[in-house]
Amino acid sequence: MEYESVMKLLLERGFFFPSSEIYSDAPAGFWEAGPLGLGLRNRFVDLWRRELIRRDGMIEMEGSQIMPASVFRASGHLESFADPIATCKQCKSATRIDKLLEKHTREIIPEGLRESEYQDLIDRHNVKCPSCGGQLDTIRLFNMMFRLGIGAGNDDAYLRPETCQSIFVDFLRLFKVMRCKLPIAIAQHGKSFRNEISPRQSIIRLREFYQAEIEIFFNPENDTKFEKFDAEKDTVLRIKKADGTEVVQRCADFVDANILPNRLAGYYLALLQKFYGTTGVDLNRARFRELGKMERAFYSSSGFDFEVETSIGWLELVACNYRGDYDLSRHSAVSKRDISVMDGLDKVTPHVFELSMGVDRSLYAILEHNFREEEQRVVLGLKPFLAPIQAGVFPLITRDGLPEQAQSVYRQLCVDFSCFYDASGSIGRRYRRGDEAGFPFAITVDHQTLSDGTVTIRYRDSMEQSRVPLTELSDKLRVLLAYS
């Protein structure tokens, strides 16, 4: 099973490991990033900035992780991010009560009822446990946000369940101070927190996790004027529609067929797909999946998940949602502030299309898609520009002054590149260790180095070597590590 192999590598090499693991009461869903995991994530975020933020002229901000209750009253998370759950007295299975009631009564059950109101409905309709027909126990509301008390007054606040709320809350100021014009994308990378009932699968379902979110604000009336679309209109997308059929065709055809809500959405889906191609995720094992009405988040009127096929099935990496003017209108209503902006001569409340990327699972997908077990070795074939350690520096043997010379090469490189010096065991062992940790290159100092000042560069993927003068080594590495 590949998932196990990848996880084993991640644990043994210190990419990621459980938080507070020496204590037995450490809760699930919290993971540390070790040196290699942190390095990989930093490079992933660098690539995200390069391929999305800078390429598209987005602006980036960083909001607070703790926000007051009103933010989430407005966003709908206080009402809708909670699941009413009842346990069966007989078979002990937990059931989502709202869904059960809707099935029973064939009516829409309003969101955000109190426990007692759900209880009334259950009693009135005589609803039983769906799996065994037993008596249902009392209702609990389970909100997935972490609640905090601020200051001496212990005022209600929450750890943000998604990074985007600060983008909406700060929209007006950002728009003004950066002198934005619609359409404009505002991005944020950082941590979000969700009190999952049962986190599973290591870094794929976390309670504390990284998101990289992009909120694109636009005037829905002006989609035909969205000129950037032309650059991506011929990009081929694979979309699995909500009815289960799969369509592969040009971005423009999806827009014409009304499968995509507008040209702007098509453009950003194409951009997103290209970004993932650059990370080394295998696009032949990737698709967009259109979400049906029941699957979408409460704020979403149209949604597509970008999914990647892995050894544990299709994995959602990005949620792409058409949020309409839901967020800005709600924040405007609750805060009693006007959050509309001028678009030419029109005053509009912009609509939002969002790309909400799960960073940790993206890293997992990149790792799994680039991991291979060959006959003689295990290789983490990360793109050089994503590799947390870019070069190993080794003396061929540990005498004749080679270690000293290799140390000096290491010191020459270590400020500009992340390098790892290793002199233990045989040279072959060091190459193999590097392969497993994803070092794309290895610099070896040998006896010839002492006489002519050249070293060898050994390439991880081909295992071939070439000689480079020390004077050209930094430039050579820079070229090898460039984005491609």
Partner RNA sequence: GCGGGGUUCGUCCAGUCUGGUCUAGGACUUCAGCUUCCCAAGCUGGCAACGCGGGUUCAAAUCCCGCACCUCGCACCA
Nearer residue to RNA within complex by CB, 190 or 229: 190
Tokens of 15: 């990419």
Residue 139: phi and psi, rounded to 5, are -80, 140
CB of residue 373 to RNA, shortest distance in Å: 9
Nearer residue to RNA within complex by CB, 51 or 213: 213
CB of residue 412 to RNA, shortest distance in Å: 17
Q: How many angstroms from the chain centroid is the CA of residue 345?
A: 37
Nearer residue to RNA within complex by CB, 17 or 226: 17
Nearer residue to RNA within complex by CB, 211 or 279: 211
| Helix, strand, coil abundance in the chain, percent, nearest 5 | 35, 30, 35
CB 481 within 8 A of CB 389: no
d(CA 205, CA 315): 11
Burial class (CB within 10 angstroms; exposed 0-12, middle 13-18, buried 19+) of 8: exposed
Nearer residue to RNA within complex by CB, 320 or 341: 320
Label the pairing between strands 391-395 and 286-290. unpaired
Q: How many angstroms from the chain centroid is the CA of residue 172?
A: 26
Nearer residue to RNA within complex by CB, 220 or 403: 403
Tokens of 162: 């998604």
CB 347 within 8 A of CB 211: no
d(CA 211, CA 163): 7
Nearer residue to RNA within complex by CB, 109 or 357: 357
CB 158 within 8 A of CB 101: no
CB of residue 154 to RNA, shortest distance in Å: 25
CB of residue 386 to RNA, shortest distance in Å: 19
Peptide bond into 68 cis (omega under 30): no
Which residues is 371 bridged to in the sheet? Answer: 380
CB of residue 311 to RNA, shortest distance in Å: 10
CB of residue 263 to RNA, shortest distance in Å: 23
d(CA 84, CA 100): 10
CB of residue 343 to RNA, shortest distance in Å: 29
Q: For residue 457, give every residue at least 6 positions away whose Cβ sits within 8 Å of its Cβ, in sequence order, or none.
A: 441, 442, 443, 465, 466, 467, 468, 476, 480
DSSP 349: -
Nearer residue to RNA within complex by CB, 197 or 248: 197
CB of residue 231 to RNA, shortest distance in Å: 26
Nearer residue to RNA within complex by CB, 138 or 335: 138
CB of residue 163 to RNA, shortest distance in Å: 10
Tokens of 438: 């994803």
CB of residue 429 to RNA, shortest distance in Å: 4
The Cβ of residue 242 has, within 10 Å, a number of other Cβ atoms equal to 17
CB of residue 106 to RNA, shortest distance in Å: 18
Residue 303: phi and psi, rounded to 5, are -150, 150
Nearer residue to RNA within complex by CB, 180 or 423: 423
Nearer residue to RNA within complex by CB, 263 or 361: 361
Q: How many angstroms from the chain centroid is the CA of residue 484?
A: 21
Angle (CA) 211-212-216 rounded to 5° is 130
Task: Give just the sign of the alpha carbon dihedral 161, 164, 168, 172.
Answer: positive
**Residue 458, H or E segment:** strand 454-459
Label the pairing between strands 236-240 and 286-290. parallel
Q: For residue 450, give every residue at least 6 positions away whose Cβ sits within 8 Å of its Cβ, in sequence order, or none.
A: 400, 401, 402, 405
CB of residue 407 to RNA, shortest distance in Å: 14
Nearer residue to RNA within complex by CB, 175 or 210: 210
Provide the greatest CA pair distance for the chain. 92
